[in-house]
């Protein structure tokens, strides 16, 4: 019985891989080291227009469930979700995991200002 429980636990953890939390510094390092394939910014349209990473993808939180499968077809892409305050990114990562994306992370604490320090161009419009 113990063996069966261990096998089921391992299978559950293999199937359900929760999203990884990353600090802004860890997210910057992962981006710099090409350990992230796509950055998805789930901030609102006005926040996005105020400034965003040139190569990031904007999918507002309220559109995520519908738009993520349309815009990111490979469920094994390494996705980093970012937002302004740290409240939306973990929810976005949970939605992505529920949709079957397997390599999902999110930036803790939001801290858009801190993450901007990465040597990635920021577009202010």
- For residues 114-120, average pLDDT: 59
Q: Please, what are the domains in the chain?
A: 18-123 (3.40.250.10)
Start-to-end CA distance of the chain, whole Å, equals: 61
Rounded Cα distance between 24 and 110, Å, is 8
State yes or no: pLDDT of 122 exceeds 70.
no
Q: Does this model's pTM top 0.95?
A: no
In tens, the pLDDT along 14-25 reads 445 568 899 888
In tens, the pLDDT along 60-104 reads 999 999 999 999 999 999 999 999 888 899 999 999 999 999 999
């Amino acid at each position: 019985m113990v063996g069966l429980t261990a096998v089921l636990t391992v299978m559950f953890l293999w199937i359900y891989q929760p999203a990884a939390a990353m600090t802004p510094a860890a997210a910057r390092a992962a981006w710099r080291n090409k350990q992230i394939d796509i950055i998805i910014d789930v901030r609102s349209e006005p926040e996005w227009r105020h400034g965003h990473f040139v190569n990031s993808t904007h999918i507002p939180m309220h559109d995520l469930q519908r738009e993520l499968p349309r815009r990111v077809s490979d469920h094994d892409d390494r996705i980093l979700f970012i937002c302004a305050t740290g409240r939306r990114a973990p929810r976005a990562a949970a939605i992505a995991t529920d949709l079957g994306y397997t390599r999902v992370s999110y930036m803790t604490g939001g801290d858009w200002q801190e993450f901007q320090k990465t040597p990635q161009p920021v577009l202010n419009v």
